[in-house]
Chain A
Amino acid sequence: MEVLAKYGTSDQQKDWLEPLLAGEIRSAYAMTEPDVASSDATNMELEIRRDGDEYVLNGKKWWTTGVITPKCKFMLVMGKSNPENSRHTQHSTIIVPTDAKGFEIIRPLRAFGEYHSPGGEGDVIFKNVRVPVTNLILGEGRGFEIAQGRLGPGRFQYAMMFVGMAQRSLELMCERAQSRVAFGEALIKKTSVQHEIAKSRCDIEQCRLLVLAAAEKMDKYGIDAARDYISMLKIVAPKMCEDVSSRAIQIFGGMGVSQDTPLAHIFTTSRFCRIADGPDEVHMSQLAKLTIRSLSGN
């Protein structure tokens, strides 16, 4: 959404962004590939080749989130269009409708055994998929620039989501600790349970303040200046939520892993998101570089 709002032509915005914002259709972003280490996004191999007034796509993607539901009408696909260029200008981003000939969903993937229905996670293939050149976003070789730009507001809101999920886990954990009795006393009387609640409260509050700080920095100085904060959030938020929901599950016992609380979903989602959209390690390396750069004054 943000990609089209920021970089799309007025035709692209009219055809794809407007129905998306109206909630009439859905979209997906196809970046990760099964055959290469996609944590290093420069590895991406899907080929985008120009042929007259069209681009021809050949390759594979997986973990394409949201692509399975029939409501998903198009994807933003990132692939290699200019292998002769320098490392970060070889890739482009292009709009591909899900009904394009040659595009096929091989299978829906399961994450921790779950289909993530209704959106779904796709294992997909592009075989000589042809789209008009006007579907290209921004220009050849600008895929990384687009990928960077899309990470701004989306990323801090993504962290808000983890704060929200963790807060909900904390509330559930507290209710359970007060109402459940084991070995002659309410769980809340046990020091270990008290400490889990206290640690969770601290973790959530730290992350919440980091979200607010990132948002404020973006408002005042723009996304580029807030890049370090956005990296921090990607590193901190999913892990924080994984830890808090895990503690909540432990206090709940069997009910915590069942469908009777949202905790199991919260836990698996936060774990999954430590890999999705770049694993923790990539963001930590990125943050280290930004930190060294700022300390050395450039």
Chain B
Amino acid sequence: MGFEINDKAKQINERLEAFMGEHIYPREKDYDEFTSNQENLWQYPDWYEDLKKEAKRQNLWNLFLPKEYAPWSPGLTNLEIASLLKLCLSLLGLNKFLIVMLLIEAIWKY
């Protein structure tokens, strides 16, 4: 049993890292402050929709759906998904968690 990260997953990891560095990490604080403010209850920050568009444009969208979910899946195997370390590091998607529901919109319950 070996878990070699293949080139496909490596390449996606690089693109994810760039996306996270440019768009996600710098906004974490802002997201946390916005969602903790009672005046903004149940709302998303303005930039949230644009970020989804950007993730789609870069083909970093719905990566979590494994290939058995064709035609909606971008085609990764479970092992390739599990190898997306940057996705993993930033999967702080739970509820108010730092962000990144983007790439994983709704992994949490469905």
Contacts and interface: CB of A to CB of B under 8 A. Distances in A.
A158 interface: yes
**B-side interface mostly:** loop
Nearest to A20: B106
A160 B16 CA distance: 15
A2 interface: yes
Contacts, number: 153
A269 B94 contact: yes
B107 A117 contact: no
A161 B41 contact: no
B110 A150 contact: yes
B43 interface: yes
B107 A154 contact: yes
Contact of B78 (A1, A164, A215): A215
Nearest to A211: B82
Interface residues on A, range: 35 or more
A2 B110 contact: yes
Interface string A134-172: 000000000000000010011011101101110110000
B1 A216 contact: yes
B33 to A, nearest CB: 8
Interface residues of B, number: 47
**A-side interface mostly:** helix
B14 interface: no
Contacts of A66: 106, 108-109
A68 B92 contact: no
Interface string B64-96: 111001001000011101110001111111111
A220 B89 CA distance: 25
B86 to A, nearest CB: 9
B78 A269 contact: no
A213 interface: yes
Interface of A: 1-6, 17, 20-21, 23, 26-29, 65-66, 68-71, 76, 108, 114-120, 150, 153-154, 156-158, 160-161, 163-165, 167-168, 209, 211-216, 218-219, 259, 262, 265-266, 269, 273
A-B pairs with the 9 shortest C-beta distances? A215-B82, A215-B78, A116-B95, A164-B88, A161-B91, A1-B110, A212-B3, A164-B89, A215-B79
